[in-house]
Amino acid sequence: MSAGRRSGHCREETVGRTRRAARLRRDRDVENAGRKGAYLGIGSNLGDRRAHLADAVRKLAAEPAVRILRGSSVYESKPVGKTDQPDFLNMVLAVNTSLSPLALLAVCLDVEAQLGRECRERWGPRTIDLDVLIYGEEKLKDERLVLPHPRMSERSFVMAPLAEIAPDIKLSGRTAREIAADLGRTGLNPVESWFDFSLWAKVPGERMDEK
């Protein structure tokens, strides 16, 4: 999944991400009074893609302030932007969290760092990619995070899995189901159900909804 919040050359991105993660970690104590629903996108197209997704899901499930409610099927998709690279595996998670949007982003960045996220070139292949797509009804425009994700409604590899688990959620007045139908599924194939993936990945049962 190519992240809309990433830009610049890889070396600059690495430095920028390190500084940003540090700032976000300082924000980790800024949590909401109640828990909010959010949707996260996960993608990988380097190495053992399925294992990278599984590692990311397990690390998210281990975060005390994040509860995985359900996940989409795993989809294989063609790369967007820079097309001469391996196909991606993508999925979307529905989570419940007490973290603020920026603190949730910090968790995602930490997971990427723990899994050795590689960026070899802009829009290029990566071992793991996590995006905060939607956070409740929050609209946010920050240098670190834009909500809802600014390009998600243009990407079938985001909208198809989102429509699978939240078909009636609305973006700019249209449901995920409607947007996904308009985008179609060219170059997009479901390869594994959430049930099968979560069993294989050994996502802690007490930390997720098995639906």
3-state secondary structure of 25: helix
CB-CB contact of 129 with 112 (8 Å): yes
Q: Please, what is the Cα angle at 74 between 68 and 202, to 5 degrees? A: 50
Q: Please, what is the Cα angle at 54 between 42 and 81, to 5 degrees? A: 30
Burial label for 7, CB within 10 Å (0-12, 13-18, 19+), is: exposed
76-93 pLDDT tens trace: 999 887 778 899 999 999
Q: What is the pTM of this model?
A: 0.83
pLDDT for 198: 95
Closest by CA position to 56, among listed 113, 97, 94? 113
User: What's the CA gap between 128 and 124, in Å, rounded?
Assistant: 12
Tokens of 207: 């930390």
User: What's the CA gap between 65 and 71, in Å, rounded?
Assistant: 17
Tokens of 184: 């179609």
Q: What is the CA radius of gyration of the chain?
A: 16
From residue 34, give the alpha-carbon distance in Å to each of 65, 73, 112, 168, 178: 11, 29, 26, 23, 30
User: What's the CA gap between 162 and 130, in Å, rounded?
Assistant: 14
H or E element: which one contains 210? none
Q: What residues act catalytically?
A: 117, 126, 129, 131
H or E element: which one contains 203? none
The residue ranges of the chain whose pLDDT is under 70 are: 1-33, 118-124, 205-211
108-146 pLDDT tens trace: 999 999 998 766 566 668 899 999 999 999 999 988 899
pLDDT for 23: 52
Tokens of 95: 């989570």
184 Rama sector, left if φ>0, alpha if ψ -120 to 50, beta otherwise: left
Q: Identify the bridge partners of residue 208 per DSSP, sorted by sequence position.
A: 68
